[in-house]
Structure 1
Amino acid sequence: MTAAATPTWDPAQYLRHADHRARPFADLLARVPDLPGDPARIADLGCGPGNVTAVLVRRWPTAHITGYDNSPQMLERAQAYAGATAGGGRLDFAHADAEAWAPTQTYDLIVSNAALQWVEGHLDAFSGWLDALAPGGTFAFQVPNNIDAPLHALMRELGTSARWKDRLGDVLRHTDSVHAPGVYLDRLARLGCEADVWETTYLHVLEGEDPVLDWVKGTGLRPVLTVLADDPEARDAFVAEYRDLLREAYPSAGYGTVLPFRRLFAVARKEA
């Protein structure tokens, strides 16, 4: 992403929907095969506040796991999970920007949960990351694949309107921030991997007042909130306009508000 669009993250806001956000990671890990190393060496690229990185310990209790992120706020929150694990492994965290991350050691698993959509040109990074895998190692990731959903389409429409385009027209994610499933399959297969790529649409039932707005405040709206942080009046005006659009697009029912959310998954195993 460009420097102007790099968001400032709010771990507390992100974690307000932690259960919904963690479920795809569990579904991704369920398809990851056994790892070649014992103890395994694992990298979590874009680890955020560390709550899902800690889930890796349950599957690989003896592993040395490092979570990487470029957000100081997220890394500070993640430190609560750092240290020796009950199974004899270790969990730690380090600063790294996925756009420039070049592994300096060998990993049995490189995993990324809902982060690569923020990494411009991430397809071109796959070759170097796969080179860092041990024979028989796995690269696995999931990304939101709903950039055409009202959640994002309305944000882009508002952000490029006459009132906002000068300040916000260049800060939002583009429609090509995530590629079609076949593009990932082709790239991973051509790099010599046995690749499994699929999509799942989750129907998240959210509770509370304006829950879809609350959800997106933790993720897709962060660039807008960052750019307008020094102008609270403008920030509140944009959020109010966007909130009204979301209320119409995602009406509340008696049992909550349904947010359909499509995600793309890939598990690529390097030849042993």
Structure 2
Amino acid sequence: MHVAPTWDPRQYLRHASLRTRPFLDLLARIAEPPAASGRPIRIADLGCGPGNVTALLADRWPTAHITGYDNSAEMLAEARRHAGETPGGGHLDFRSADAADWEPGETYDLIVSSAALQWVPNHARSFERWVDSLAPGGTLAFQVPGNFTSPSHALLGELCDAPQWRERLEGFGRRFIHILDPVDYLERLTGLGCAVDAWETVYVPMLDGPDPVLEWVKGTALRPVLTELHDDPEASEEFLAQYRDLLRKAYPPGPYGTPFPHRRIFVNARRLSAYDSPADAG
């Protein structure tokens, strides 16, 4: 059984502005939650990580009660720096929970997740109970990476499955094959009574510094490998050197930096209410 990866908030936040951009693009297309009679807007952020994007929800909905959920003690320790009363009179808190088996337990106006559900095999099976927990007119919105056939991830999978590493790391680089295409997400959530907006975007940031793609994946896809090899520094160093050399060939630097194309999949599903017309479902 694979051990849950140990997360490094500092490494993850090294590219905070670039990692935040897809969340901002998702946030811009989320409809206003329905008016909540006698209570603040209730929002859940699944896989909140270090809490930096969760705090952006409080900027959008200043009076909301927002809870960030994550299963990483390291990430939650960083996230709780954002906890407390918000300037607009709302409240921001963080709790330990795994998105794989999270049960809402109350009514939410918005359930949002940014770059987290790729770590949850069969996450689409949870959609029904999450949608059921939404207030009529509430939204389930998420974005996930869709670049698992790109060199950064394909090379990682091939290296983990190579004879030298197979005994310890087989399958570690191929954990994300359960990500669905936008059409699949659209069909599943439409079938659950939602009006769905699904799309994809390829971002092409220009990374700088030495081995920038390696530094990027050290914060995300490489975490399971680094966790597995943490008690064997020599093996960890050798694996990183081999992976680094592969990435250097796949992503050669240019005169202005290293282009790093990566695809993101977005889904914005609003639960229809009795007042919606049939056209709203389409």
| Same structural fold, with TM-score higher than 0.5 when normalized by the shorter chain | yes
Secondary structure of the 1:8 match is: coil
Q: Contact 1:171–1:224 (CA<8 Å) still a contact in 2? A: yes
Aligned mates of 1:112, 1:131 — CA distance in 2:
17
In structure 2, the partner of 1:18 is 16
Identity level (%): 60
Comparing 173-182 with 184-193, which one deviates more in the overlay?
173-182
In structure 1, the partner of 2:106 is 105
Q: Contact 2:51–2:82 (CA<8 Å) still a contact in 1? A: yes
Residues 168-210 of structure 1: CA deviation (Å, up to 9, x unaligned) = 0032333523111111011000001000100000001111110
In structure 1, the partner of 2:277 is none
- Aligned-partner residue type, residue 144 of structure 2: V
In structure 1, the partner of 2:136 is 135
- 1:145-160 alignment runs, 5 A limit: 145-160=146-161
Aligned mates of 1:6, 1:214 — CA distance in 2:
20
TM-score (norm 2): 0.94
Aligned mates of 1:161, 1:257 — CA distance in 2:
27
- Aligned-partner residue type, residue 88 of structure 1: G
Q: Contact 1:225–1:235 (CA<8 Å) still a contact in 2? A: yes
Deviation of the 1:37 alpha carbon? 3.6
Q: Contact 2:154–2:173 (CA<8 Å) still a contact in 1? A: no
- 1:26-175 alignment runs, 5 A limit: 26-38=24-36, 39-175=40-176
Aligned mates of 2:229, 2:182 — CA distance in 1:
34
Aligned mates of 1:172, 1:120 — CA distance in 2:
14
Deviation of the 1:96 alpha carbon? 0.3
Residues 216-235 of structure 1: CA deviation (Å, up to 9, x unaligned) = 00000000000000000000
Comparing 22-31 with 37-46, which one deviates more in the overlay?
37-46
> Which ranges of structure 1 fall in alignment gaps of 5 or more residues?
none
Q: Contact 2:107–2:134 (CA<8 Å) still a contact in 1? A: yes
In structure 2, the partner of 1:4 is 2
Aligned mates of 1:152, 1:223 — CA distance in 2:
13
- Aligned-partner residue type, residue 158 of structure 1: L
Deviation of the 1:36 alpha carbon? 1.0
Residues 44-85 of structure 1: CA deviation (Å, up to 9, x unaligned) = 000000000000011100000000000000000001100000
Aligned mates of 2:152, 2:228 — CA distance in 1:
19
Aligned mates of 1:238, 1:169 — CA distance in 2:
13
Aligned mates of 2:19, 2:172 — CA distance in 1:
23
- Aligned-partner residue type, residue 61 of structure 2: W
Aligned mates of 1:89, 1:175 — CA distance in 2:
36
Q: Contact 1:143–1:265 (CA<8 Å) still a contact in 2? A: yes
In structure 2, the partner of 1:250 is 251
In structure 1, the partner of 2:276 is none
Aligned mates of 2:170, 2:267 — CA distance in 1:
31
Secondary structure of the 2:53 match is: coil
Aligned pairs, number? 270
Q: Contact 1:171–1:223 (CA<8 Å) still a contact in 2? A: yes
Residues 27-49 of structure 1: CA deviation (Å, up to 9, x unaligned) = 00111001014421000000000
In structure 1, the partner of 2:181 is 180
- Aligned-partner residue type, residue 51 of structure 1: N
In structure 2, the partner of 1:238 is 239
Comparing 164-173 with 211-220, which one deviates more in the overlay?
164-173
Q: Contact 1:51–1:78 (CA<8 Å) still a contact in 2? A: yes
Aligned mates of 1:21, 1:177 — CA distance in 2:
21
Q: Contact 1:8–1:226 (CA<8 Å) still a contact in 2? A: yes
Q: Contact 2:44–2:68 (CA<8 Å) still a contact in 1? A: yes
Deviation of the 1:8 alpha carbon? 0.7
Q: Contact 2:157–2:171 (CA<8 Å) still a contact in 1? A: no
